[in-house]
A and B are shown apart, each in its own frame.
Chain A
Amino acid sequence: KAGVTQTPRYLIKTRGQQVTLSCSPISGHRSVSWYQQTPGQGLQFLFEYFSETQRNKGNFPGRFSGRQFSNSRSEMNVSTLELGDSALYLCASSLGDRNTEAFFGQGTRLTVV
C-alpha cells in the first residue's frame, strides 16, 4: 500500500510569491491534515479536510488556504510569501474516524528568500 506522497520535496521561493503544495493520501483515507514544522514552534496545525470540506482550521493567517478534491488529494496554497513561512510542511492522512492514527508524508521543505 503506497504511503502519503507530498510534492515537491523541496522548494525555494522569493518573498511575495505564492506557492502550491500537493498531498496524495493513502488510498481509502478521506481525511487530510496539514501541519507546519519549524525548529522554534514544532508542529503546528494548519487545517484539515474531510470529504472535500474543511473540517478544522488552525490559527494561521488567511494567506494559507487549502482544498481537497474528490479523490481525496489535497493542495495547500500560501500567497504573498514571507521569510517566516520557511518551514517543513507536512501532510497527514487518516481514515477520518475517531481515534485513528495519522500517517505523515515526507513533507515539503519550503525556503523563502
Chain B
Amino acid sequence: GQNIDQPTEMTATEGAIVQINCTYQTSGFNGLFWYQQHAGEAPTFLSYNVLDGLEEKGRFSSFLSRSKGYSYLLLKELQMKDSASYLCAVRVAPSGNTPLVFGKGTRLSVIA
C-alpha cells in the first residue's frame, strides 16, 4: 500500500520559522505536492518537487530527498493567517497523470 506520514499538529509563534516534515513509502514516485487548507475551504496549491533539492517561493520553501522518501515544507516569518492544515501528497505512478495520494495533513497553529 501507499503510506504518507506527517505530524498531526504543530504550534509555532508569529514571526518564527516552522518546518513540517513528510515521509512517504509508495509503490512509485512522480512528484510531491504541498497544499494548504484553511478550515472550511478548498486545498490550495503551494509547491511541487520532482527532483531532489529545495524549491523556494517567497516565504514558503519545499525540500525533497527521493532516496530518503522525505520532504519538508518550510514556512518563514510566520503570520497568523498561516494557521491552517498542510497536506503532503505524492503522485504515485512512474509516468503519466495519476491521482494524488495524500497524507492526513498537519494542522498548524500560529500563536502570538
Instruction: List residues of chain A with CB under 8 Å of any chain B CB.
Output: 4, 31, 33, 35, 41-45, 48, 50, 55-56, 58, 90, 94, 96-107
Residues of B within 8 A of A31 (CB): 97
Q: Is the CB of A43 within 8 A of B30?
A: no
Does B100 make an interface contact (CB < 8 A)? Answer: yes
Q: Is the CB of A42 within 8 A of B102?
A: yes
Give, as a whole number of angstroms, the nearest-CB distance from B78 to chain A.
Answer: 23
Q: A4-B42, A56-B98 are in contact. List 17 more A-B contacts (CB 8 A).
A: A31-B97, A33-B100, A41-B104, A42-B102, A42-B104, A43-B100, A43-B102, A44-B102, A45-B99, A48-B99, A50-B97, A101-B33, A101-B45, A101-B48, A104-B35, A105-B42, A107-B42
Instruction: List residues of chain B with CB under 8 Å of any chain A CB.
Output: 30-31, 33, 35, 41-45, 48, 50, 87, 89, 91, 95-105
Residues of B within 8 A of A104 (CB): 35, 42-44
**A104 to B95 Cα, complex, angstroms:** 22
**A105 to B30 Cα, complex, angstroms:** 23
**A1 to B98 Cα, complex, angstroms:** 25
Q: Is the CB of B41 within 8 A of A106?
A: yes
Complex: chain B residue closest to A58, CB-CB:
B99
Complex: chain B residue closest to A55, CB-CB:
B97
Q: Is the CB of B103 within 8 A of A99?
A: no
20 A-B residue pairs with Cβ-Cβ distance under 8 Å, sorted by A, are A41-B104, A42-B104, A43-B100, A44-B102, A48-B98, A50-B97, A56-B99, A90-B42, A90-B43, A94-B97, A97-B97, A98-B95, A98-B96, A99-B31, A101-B45, A102-B100, A104-B43, A104-B44, A105-B42, A107-B42
**A45 to B105 Cα, complex, angstroms:** 15
* A-B complex: 8 closest residue pairs judged by Cβ atoms: A42-B104, A43-B102, A104-B42, A45-B99, A101-B45, A104-B43, A106-B42, A56-B99
Complex: chain A residue closest to B101, CB-CB:
A45
**A46 to B98 Cα, complex, angstroms:** 12
Complex: chain A residue closest to B1, CB-CB:
A59
